[in-house]
Amino acid sequence: MDAKNIKDTYGNKSSVDQIRERFDREVGRFAELNTGQQSTMDAPLVMDLMARAALSSSPKAHKILDIGCGAGNHSLKLRMLSQIDLDITLVDLSQPMLDMAFQRLSEINHGNISLWQGDFRHFSAESEAYDIVLAAAVFHHLRDDNDWLSTFQKVFDLLASGGSIWISDLVTHDCQPVQNLMWERYAEYLIQLGGIGYQKHVFEYIDLEDSPRSLNYQIDLLRSVGFGTIEVLHKNCCFAAFGAVKP
Ligand SMILES: C[S@@+](CC[C@H](N)C(=O)[O-])C[C@H]1O[C@@H](n2cnc3c(N)ncnc32)[C@H](O)[C@@H]1O
């Protein structure tokens, strides 16, 4: 895609500041551990699978990076299933989200919890600083191919050998008829959950804010930046959970 088309494709999407402002107002919706974020299909199952896969794939893990942590659900789940206290770095655009995540996590975790407020594209730390990276419902805010590539390269660099990344997200499909089918199924799911008005609201903010990529695209990218073992944990409709281990 050339520069003009990239601008045309992403120029109408929300800015980082607009995305932050929306999430600043939505902390409560992301602070329910039993249901997870309900507009995401199978959220509780995916939280459980990601935490278990992370802990079993990287069994010596104690340094965790949670990108786009929201109110901390995924880190909380991980800590509840781990036998030990963890050192956790929480990264999010939204300070109210970080404050809520810190409050909830510090009740059960006595390891170090550090907060970093900002766009994860600007986050930096020492190479190989982390054993597990979690990125739930956040990478769909990445835009062009360079954005995706540099983010995946950064995550690879931040992980220690044997460390792993676990991603859950909204995904697209490479085959357009399948994409249409999945989008219709997702609309039906949202209508059942909250009615037609809710479905329209969710589709409107997806259209405004999100630029998801397919599962195939992300798996290829994980491989291209150096990850060895790649696993798909779950896929239902336009939501997928998957991960990769650094050799
Ligand atoms: C849909 S929520 C998911 C929260 C949490 N991971 C969960 O699954 O419950 C996305 C979160 O990512 C954060 N976020 C979005 N874009 C971001 C960016 N560029 N850098 C850091 N955080 C970002 C938002 O502020 C929000 O808290």
CA 57 – CA 52 distance, rounded (Å): 8
Q: Name residues of the chain where pLDDT drops below 70.
A: 1-8
Q: Give the per-residue pLDDT at 34.
A: 85
* pTM, full prediction: 0.95
Q: Which residue type, as a one-letter code, is found at position 22?
A: R
Q: Is the CB of 138 under 6 A from ligand 1?
A: yes
Q: How far is the CA of 23 from the centre of ligand 1 (A)?
A: 8
Q: How far is the CA of 107 from the centre of ligand 1 (A)?
A: 22
Nearest CA to ligand 1 atom 12: 68
For residue 37, give both structure tokens.
Answer: 């974020």
Q: Give the per-residue pLDDT at 5.
A: 42
CA 60 – CA 156 distance, rounded (Å): 18
% of the chain exceeding 90 in pLDDT: 89
Q: Is the CB of 155 under 6 A from ligand 1?
A: no
Tell me the domains of the chain and their CATH numbers: 3-171+212-245 (3.40.50.150)
Q: How far is the CA of 93 from the centre of ligand 1 (A)?
A: 7
Give pLDDT tens digits for 18-34: 999 999 999 988 998 88
Does residue 39 sit in helix, strand or coil? coil
